[in-house]
Structure 1
Amino acid sequence: MTLPTTQRRSAVLALPLAAALMLAACGSGGTNGGNDPHTITLSYASANPTDQVYEVLAKDYMAAHPGVNIKTNRIALNAANQTLTTQMQAGNGPDVMWINAGAGQAASIGHLAKAGKLLPLTDPSLKSIIPATELEGYSSNGTLYGVPSSSMISGIVYNDEVAKQNGVTITPSSTLQDVISQCGAVKAKGKAIFGLAGSIPENSGIMAMEIATSTVYGSNPNWNQDRAADKTTFENTPGWHQALQAVIDLNKSGCFQAGAAGAGFDTLTNYESQGKIFGFFAPSGATKDIMDSAHGAVKLIALPFPAPQGTKTYMTLSADLGLAGNKNSKNPKLVEDFIKFSVSPAEAKKFADAQGAIPIGNVDSSDLLPQYQKVAGLLKGQQYRPYGVDGWQNGQVYNALGTGTTGLITGQKSIDDVLKMMDAAWSS
C-alpha cells in the first residue's frame, strides 16, 4: 500500500490501522452540466467507497434549492490527480471539483489557476468566512479560486488511555524533552511511544513537518514567502536544523519502534495490535475513521508534536482539501453559490463532524468533537500554523524531506545533506 504524493495523508493512513488500534485497546467521466441552467456536476476523491460527505453536501444543497440538480462522481483517491488534470486539460472537467490546496500537485489550486482552468470566486463574503491562515492555499496572485472543506490537525493520533496504562503522559504542554525522557522505559518493555512507517517517505515527512511547524513556522509564519524570494534557504534556517536534530534525538532515545526506518504500514498494524506503540503521525481525521471501525472499543485524541524546550509549540492546522469551480462551466453563478454553501456555518459543521475534522471558520469553537478537547485551548488561542508543504514550489521538496528524514534514522544522511537536497529540489 502506497500513499498518494505529498499532502494526501489522512484516509490512506487511517485504514490499515483501524483494526489494529481496536485490538490494542482491548466512475464515470468528468462532463459538466452542459446548457441546463439548473444542473452542475461535482467530482470528488475518496479512498473509502463508503465515504458520503460530498454526496450529503450535494443533497443538502438540492434540498435547499428545489429544481437544482447536482450530478456527483466519485474518483478513487489514488487516481484523482491524474484524472482531474486530464479532464480539465481536455475541456471536459466537472463544474465543481475536489482540489488540493497550494501548488504541490497537478490537481491543485496553484497549477490549475496558473493554467487558466479555474473559476475566480468573486463573492467578498467568502474571504471573511475562510480563516486567513487557510486563504493562501486557495488563492493565486491575490484571486480566490477555491475553499477548504474542513480543517485537521496534522500531529499525533494518540491512544492516551493505553499510553497512561504504560506510564506515559503526553499533553499539549509537553516538550520534546518530556517525550524523550519517557522513551527509554517504554523501550525496555519492548514497546515504543511512536510508530513510524519509515519506508514510506510521506510518513517520515509528516513527522518532520510537525516539528518544523514549531521550530520554523512558529517564529516566522512567512518562511515560505521568504524562501520563494530567495531571502533564506532550508540549509541556512536554524529551525530546520533544530527540527531534523529532533528526529535524530527521538530515534537515538528509542522513541520509535525497532526497525522504524524500514517499516511499512503492515508493521504499524502489527505493533498496534500487540499494544506496542501508542501513537502515529497523521492528520486528525484518522481518529474518527479508526474509532468508528473499533465500534467504541478505542478512544483516540489529536495532539500537536511537542516542540523542543524553549520553543513554543504550534499545531499544524491543515486545510489542504477543498472545492473549486471550472472556469468553463456553463453555470458559473450556480457553481459559486454551491461552493459558498459548502462553507456556510451549518454545512461546514455537518461536513466536519462527518469527517472527524474541525469546521472551517470555527476552529476556536467550544463545540468540537471529543478528540479535540485537549487542544481546544491552543485552537482558541490561535496557536497553530498552516501545513507548510502547501506553500512549497513542487512535490519534489517534500519527497526530499521524507526520504532524507528516513536517511537520518538509518545514519545514511546528515542534517546538512537533507537540507541541501530540499534546496536543490526547490530550485528544480
Structure 2
Amino acid sequence: MAKEKIVLAYSGGLDTSVILAWLKETYDAEIIAFTADIGQKEELDGLEEKAIQTGASKVYIDDLREEFARDFIFPMFQSGALYEGQYLLGTSIARPLIAKRMVEIARAEGATAIAHGATGKGNDQVRFELNAAALAPEIKCIAPWRLDEFREQFPGRAEMIAYAEKHGIPVTASAAKPYSTDRNLLHISFESGMLEDPWFDASAESNEDMYVLSVSPERAPDEPEYIEMEFEQGNCVAINGKAMGPLEVMETLNELGGKHGIGRIDMVENRFVGMKSRGVYETPGGTILFVAHRKMESLTMDREVMSLRDSLISRYSGLVYNGFWFAPERLALQALIAESQKNVTGTVRMKLYKGNVISAGIKSPVSLYNPDIATMEADPTQAYNQNDATGFINLNALRLRVQAGVEQSKHNN
C-alpha cells in the first residue's frame, strides 16, 4: 500500500525540522515539505537540501511574492486595516496565502493531511486551520504542538536539539538571539525571549542589532527625502514617475522606509486565543503605503462612504488577524471596500524623515476638494449660501434643546 502523504509548512527552523522527522517516524508517512517564498530572502538559502536531508520525499519552494502583494497586501491596505490601532497585520495576512497553497499542493499530490509547527498558544494555528477549512474541508490538519505525545517527548528546546542531533538534522540553535522572528514582504516580527517582559526597552541603542529592515530614527539621514506615489483605484501603481507592480512597490517602499527609520512598532496585543502578547514589528514600506493611501482618500473619497468604510476597519482587521480571510463576511466586506476605492486616484507627495511619514501635497483628477467652495474669500460659484447654515444649525440643535429642557425641568423639580 502507498504511504499516507502529509504536506508540512516548513521553515527550516528547529521546530519544523524536528516536526518533519517526527511526522515521518510517527505516522510512517511520506512528508512533502512546502515553503512559501513571500519575501524571507536569505532565510530560504539551502532549504531544499535541508528538507531532503531531514527526510522529506519532496520539496516545494514556491515564489508567491507577487501574488502576496497583489491579492493579499494591496486589498487589505485598501480597507485601512489596523489591528488595535497599531498593527499592520504583517504576519496575519501571510497565513491565508500559505494555507491556500498548502491545500493546492495537498490536492495535487493526493495528500490526506496538512501539518504546521504553530504552537497551541498562538494565533497562527487558528489562522492556518480556519483558512484551510474554508478552502478544503476534506483535508485534515495535524498540529503536533497540540498532541500530548509530542509535548511529552519535547517538553523544551533541549529535547528538540538532542533529537535533531540523534537524527542528523542540521539545525542552528543559539542563545545569541533569544527571540523568535517571522519575516515576509510586508514586515518582520519579533516576540518571545527577552521581549516577554513588557518593561524591556526594545528601542534602546544596545538592542539595535535585533532589527533587520530599518535603521533607528536616530541613525536615519539628517536630510528628508521626498517621494511621489501615484494611486489608481486605491492601489499604488507608480513611485517617482516609474510604473510598478505591487511587488516592486513594496520592495521599493521597504528600502525607502528602512533607510529613514520608518515603521517600528512595539505593542502588547490581544491574541484571538485569549491572552495578551508583546510583539515588536518592522513595517517600513507598509507604513508609508498606509499613510499615503489615507491621504489620497482624504481628497477623493466621499465623506459618508469613508465613514461607512472606517466603521468597518475594526471588524475587518479582526477578521484578518483571527484567520477569517476566506470567510464569506470578509469577502462581502471586500466587495464594499473595492466599491469605495473607485475614485481613490491621484498623486501623493510624502516627506520621509527620521521615522516620520509626512504629507507634502496631494492632487487628483477626481478631487472632491473645490477651492472655490472652500475659500474664506467670496465664493465665485455661489454654491454655498451661508444663510442656509442658520436652518441647518437650528434643526441639528432641536434635539439638544429638548434634552436640555428635560434636564432643567428635573433640576427645578
With the shorter chain as reference, the TM-score category is: under 0.3
Greater strand percent: which structure?
2
TM-score w.r.t. the length of structure 1 is 0.21
TM-score w.r.t. the length of structure 2 is 0.22
